[in-house]
Amino acid sequence: MAKGRLIVLTGPSGVGKGTLLKSLFERHPELYLSISVTTRAPRPGEVEGQHYYFVSHAEFQQMVSDGELLEWAEFAGNYYGTPWRSVEKQIQQGRSVVLEIELQGARQIHKTFPEALRIFIMPPSLAELEHRLRNRGQDVEEAIARRLETARAEIAAADEFDIQVVNDDLDKALNRIEATLFVPVGGGV
């Protein structure tokens, strides 16, 4: 059986990754979304095992020392990581796996899985990114400031990725991602 692909989706917090992925998974239930572990507190409405596995610092450190994470990083004062077991299982079973992770994690994956497809989601502008972060209304002011600061460095690294998709019009951005993931085999004229 052919192995599944590893697909990395990165972009500044608030750019719309979660929104894009929700639509992508509705259209393509054959894809598998890796659920990360994080030390961040759940936001209102976030569900354990669906959005993240929420763990303590001690539990996270234990996972790191036990080699359970494919990659991990600190982001805006919290730790995030990808448990490798389920990712490996899905890929072996021929299912493509999407990792929604930040820049440092994407760089680690590039080293360990150079064949992974890496997509960077760009905001139309920094002003629009700030507007979306505030509009989402789920982060305190300090967290928004940290996320915007990190965003600048992330956007500067967008060229490291295989493709860059601007999330201005949601449907257009989604179509662009789909076109990249589902390239027709054989091509034609």
The option from ligand 5GP, ligand ADP, none interacting with 16 (CB < 5 to 8 A, set by class) reads ligand ADP
Q: Least distance in Å: CB of 189 to ligand 5GP? A: 39
Residue from 136, 139, 163, 181 that binds ligand ADP (CB under 6 A)?
Answer: 136
Binding footprint of ligand ADP, residue count (CB under 6 A):
13
135 binds ligand ADP (CB under 6 A): yes
Residue with tokens 């259209």: 27
d(CA 133, CA 16): 9
4 binds ligand ADP (CB under 6 A): no
d(CA 69, CA 36): 9
Per CB under 6 A, which region of 11-19, 47-55, 84-92, 153-161 contacts ligand ADP? 11-19
CA 86 to chain centre: 16
Strand, coil or helix: 66 = coil
d(CA 154, CA 143): 16
d(CA 54, CA 62): 14
75 binds ligand 5GP (CB under 6 A): yes
Token pair for 25: 């998974």
Per CB under 6 A, which region of 94-102, 112-120, 121-129, 165-173 contacts ligand 5GP? 94-102
Q: Pick the closer one to ligand ADP by CB: 45 or 187.
A: 45
Q: Which residues contact 179 (CB under 8 A, 6 or more apart)?
A: none
Q: Report yes or no: 122 and 160 within 8 Å, Cβ to Cβ.
A: no
Q: Report yes or no: 63 and 37 within 8 Å, Cβ to Cβ.
A: yes
Residue from 7, 9, 15, 106 that binds ligand ADP (CB under 6 A)?
Answer: 15
123 binds ligand ADP (CB under 6 A): no
Q: Least distance in Å: CB of 188 to ligand ADP? A: 31
Token pair for 112: 């360990």
Binding footprint of ligand 5GP, residue count (CB under 6 A):
15
Contacts with ligand 5GP by CB under 6 A lie at 13, 36, 40, 71-73, 75, 80-82, 100-102, 104-105
